[in-house]
Structure formats: structure tokens, C-alpha cells
């Protein structure tokens, strides 16, 4: 005697698979805001590390080493990490710059708080003045 599945059982299994895939599709969140915050943090930290031990008094005082303009934070370079990355969020303020001294501390005229927003969600990047470290506040 040959055992087989009935048409009702197959339809029931297909309905369950459809329900599970529908729930899985709508619960997927691409995390654009978190990824954008980490990309900006990486760029700011790279600028900070370039500024450490680069003394502008003995070298070119007008050099941009140790400074990054906020308007360029969303730009992607040709490096292998950033060339395939697409930025999705908005940054405020979008003018000004962030500069570090030779000890990695934030300079006085630099902006210390960045707001990154995407779809009514906001992340704040707070750069500590005395150390230059970045707090990510979700």
C-alpha cells in the first residue's frame, strides 16, 4: 500500500510557509542608521589618528591633516571599504569641521555633537573634548 499526502495537507503546509515568510519579510530591518553611524565614526577616528603626533607648528600650519569637513562625511572614497557603501541617513549640522590636535583632543572651534537621522530615528555622535573619543547614543 502506497502512502501519499492529500491535497489538503499540501495546501496547509504551503499556507504555513507563506505565513512564516510574510512575517520574516516584514520583521527584517536593514539597520541603515546603525551602519551609517559606524561609517561616520570610522572616518572621524581615522582623522583623529592622523592628527596624533602631527605637529602643525613645525609642519604646514594650514594643512588639513587632523581636520575633516562635515560636508564630506557622506562622500565615499575609492578605498576598498567605502567604494561599495551607500549612505542613507542625514547629518546635522552639515556645515563646519571637526579638528583634532597632536594629542587627539578635539579643538575648541570644532563641533562636538552630530545628529544622524533616518526615518524618524536619530543617533547622536558625541565627541569628548578632552580625549577625542566618540560616544554613540542611540
Residue-wise pLDDT for 93-113, tens only, equals: 878 888 888 888 888 778 888
Q: Which carries the bigger pLDDT value, residue 13 or residue 75?
A: 13
DSSP class of residue 79 equals S
Percent of the chain with pLDDT over 90: 14
Question: Do residues 97 and 67 make contact, with C-beta atoms less than 8 angstroms apart?
Answer: yes
Summarised one tens digit per residue, pLDDT across range 33-85 is: 888 899 889 888 988 888 887 766 655 555 667 888 888 777 766 554 556 77
Q: Model's pTM, two decimal places?
A: 0.70
Distance CA 89, CA 39 (A): 11
Domain edges within the chain: 31-137
Q: Which of 100, 91, 87, 104 is nearest to 39 (CA)?
A: 87
Amino acid at each position: 500500500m502506497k502512502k501519499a499526502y492529500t491535497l489538503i495537507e499540501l495546501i496547509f503546509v504551503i499556507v504555513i510557509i507563506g505565513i512564516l515568510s510574510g512575517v520574516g519579510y516584514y520583521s527584517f530591518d536593514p539597520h541603515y542608521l546603525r551602519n551609517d553611524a559606524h561609517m561616520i565614526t570610522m572616518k572621524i577616528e581615522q582623522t583623529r589618528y592622523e592628527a596624533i603626533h602631527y605637529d602643525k607648528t613645525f609642519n604646514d600650519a594650514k594643512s588639513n591633516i587632523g581636520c575633516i569637513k562635515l560636508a564630506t562625511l557622506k562622500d565615499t572614497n575609492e578605498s576598498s571599504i567605502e567604494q561599495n557603501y551607500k549612505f542613507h541617513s542625514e547629518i546635522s549640522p552639515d556645515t563646519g569641521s571637526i579638528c583634532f590636535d597632536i594629542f587627539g583632543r578635539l579643538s575648541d572651534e570644532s563641533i562636538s555633537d552630530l545628529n544622524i537621522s533616518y526615518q524618524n530615528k536619530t543617533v547622536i555622535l558625541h565627541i569628548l573634548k578632552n580625549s577625542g573619543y566618540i560616544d554613540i547614543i542611540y
